[in-house]
Amino acid sequence: MGNVLEIKPLSRVEGHGTVRVFLTGRKVESVQLNLSESPRLFEALLVGKPYDELPEIICRICSICSSVHRVTSLQAIESALGVDISETTGLYRELILAGGQIESHSLHLFCLVLPDYLNATGFADLAAKAPTELKAGLRIKAAGNRIQEIVGGRLIHPANLVPGGMGKHPTLDQLKMLKDELQTVLPDAEKACKLFGTLNTPLHQADLAQPCYMAVQNEDSGSLPTKQLVMSNGEHADITRYRELLTEQVVPHSNAKQCRAGDVIVTVGALSRLNLGIQLESRSAQAFFDARAQLLGAHMTANTLAQGVELIHSIERGIALIDALLDLSGPLELRAPFQIHKGSGTAALEAPRGALIHKYELDADGICTGADIVTPTAINQSAMERDLYSLASALTGADDSDLARQLEILVRAYDPCISCAVHIVRI
């Protein structure tokens, strides 16, 4: 007789998800990952709205990724309208992305996954079991959030970022304060990264498939806008041609579409970025070097450690960006001028969880006539399901609660962001 083990809701992740393991006796037949968030029809909400409202609406697709959605959306619109943003605007956008990454990675590392390592049920339990680690993590997280609040005007759904530039520049005092705060938490982040490198992983060591990594990149450094989608199997494409690389299919058991590169199941996120070689600053480069044996060619269970390395990286990057901003002089342009016309624009950025792509069609009045959004969790979904199956098979015979716990830990390693993953995409 077949029976089903259901994990519902997936806990300590962002969004609503369910895992179902289909068993015959003790044998695992299949695993289904259902990203069950209710569809909010975001693309439908965008159609008919003027270009300047799109970023304001679309950032609400997800709170944790709101900054990166907002910036990606702005870049896509600006590409459609041919807007040349100023150096200042570019730096601020990168800065808020660094802040978003610090916030997102530390939320995930300290509040959502650290409990797995320390046998705690969640942050509240952790506050009793490992108060020092939790507090250090929260300090790092706060530094990331302070960037989002000061640059974005709001901690979530940054209001200050608009087509062409921003409403107001932070003051020099604010920038200096941010820099101080980042400098203070940098050692904390290094310590945390070491911690995740040395703690015993709570995950059963199963033979998971070697991932095919994917990331968006520029030929030169990490600056905006990004141009290329690259994969570890050597394939690559200009971001405007993302649809030729990534295909999507509806699966009946999930509210999110699954995304593949042809037949290849791809993986995005921190681990992919490190494996595809992002440019690191000095201390994150050292951290990466120290952990390279655990990271290079690794499967997604190493993603947590990769996020630890990136945490250092985004703090360093934040400091460098603030230095660059402090060096700017003279009257700074708030918003670049532009004309509204018909056009189509695509932009891709690395969100904390991996590649994020926005594409819009605008008519002559700047009204949106079509929108397409590809999110990292939608891309990762196939790989997640594949790995869940391998892990469940490797755990044949385990009792239900152990199996459920292990599968949840694996899902968490992917740091899924289910709210943004679920939205039906126009093809």
Partner 1 sequence: MTRPTLAIAGLTACFGCQLTLFNCEAELPTLAECFDFTYFPMGNSRHDIGGEFSAALVEGAVSTPDDLETLIRLRSRSRILIAFGTCARWGGVAAMNNHLSREAMAESVYGKGTVLTGSFNPGPLDRFVTVDFSITGCPPEKNELLATLAALLHGTLPVFPQYPVCTECRNRECLCLLIERGEPCLGPITQAGCNARCPAVSIKCEGCRGPVTEANVASELEMLQEKGISREELIRRMRRFYPEWDYGQRA
Which residues form the interface with partner 1 (CB under 8 A)? 9-16, 36-41, 43-45, 47, 49, 53, 56-57, 60-64, 66, 107, 111, 115, 121-128, 131, 134-135, 138-139, 141-142, 145, 153-157, 159-160, 162, 166-168, 405, 408, 419, 424, 426
Contact, 10 vs 396, CB < 8 A?
no
How many degrees, rounded to 5, is the angle at CA 261 between CA 255 and CA 265?
Answer: 70
Nearer to partner 1, 266 or 407 (CB): 407
Nearer to ligand SF4, 93 or 157 (CB): 157
DSSP 350: E
Among 159, 206, 264, 320, binds ligand SF4 (CB under 6 A): 159
Name residues contacting ligand SF4, limited to 126-155 (CB under 6 A). Answer: 154
Spatial distance between the Cα atoms of 360 and 421, rounded to a whole number of angstroms: 18
Give φ, ψ of 26 to 5 degrees: -100, -5
The distance of closest approach from Cβ of residue 76 to ligand SF4 in the complex, given in angstroms and rounded to an integer, is 23
Nearer to ligand SF4, 47 or 156 (CB): 156
The distance of closest approach from Cβ of residue 228 to partner 1 in the complex, given in angstroms and rounded to an integer, is 29
The distance of closest approach from Cβ of residue 174 to partner 1 in the complex, given in angstroms and rounded to an integer, is 11
Residue 122 contact among ligand SF4, partner 1, none, beta carbon within 5 to 8 Å by kind: partner 1
Nearer to ligand SF4, 135 or 154 (CB): 154
Return the SS3 of 266. Answer: strand
The distance of closest approach from Cβ of residue 35 to partner 1 in the complex, given in angstroms and rounded to an integer, is 13
The distance of closest approach from Cβ of residue 157 to ligand SF4 in the complex, given in angstroms and rounded to an integer, is 8
Closest to 276 measured CA to CA, from 318, 327, 229: 229
Nearer to partner 1, 250 or 328 (CB): 250
Spatial distance between the Cα atoms of 137 and 142, rounded to a whole number of angstroms: 9
The distance of closest approach from Cβ of residue 119 to partner 1 in the complex, given in angstroms and rounded to an integer, is 11
Q: How many residues bind ligand SF4 (CB under 6 A)?
A: 2
The distance of closest approach from Cβ of residue 155 to ligand SF4 in the complex, given in angstroms and rounded to an integer, is 10
Contact, 121 vs 115, CB < 8 A?
yes
Rg (CA), the chain: 21
How many other CB atoms are there within 10 angstroms of residue 312's CB atom?
29
DSSP 112: I
How many degrees, rounded to 5, is the angle at CA 97 between CA 95 and CA 99?
Answer: 70
Q: Does 209 bind ligand SF4 (CB under 6 A)?
A: no
Nearer to ligand SF4, 159 or 367 (CB): 159
Return the SS3 of 359. Answer: strand
Nearer to ligand SF4, 154 or 341 (CB): 154
Nearer to ligand SF4, 149 or 415 (CB): 149
Closest to 7 measured CA to CA, from 403, 396, 389, 387: 403
Spatial distance between the Cα atoms of 205 and 192, rounded to a whole number of angstroms: 22
Q: 105 is written with which tokens? A: 């990675």
Contact, 222 vs 206, CB < 8 A?
no
Residue 124 contact among ligand SF4, partner 1, none, beta carbon within 5 to 8 Å by kind: partner 1
The distance of closest approach from Cβ of residue 42 to partner 1 in the complex, given in angstroms and rounded to an integer, is 8
Which residues lie near ligand SF4 (CB under 6 A)?
Answer: 154, 159
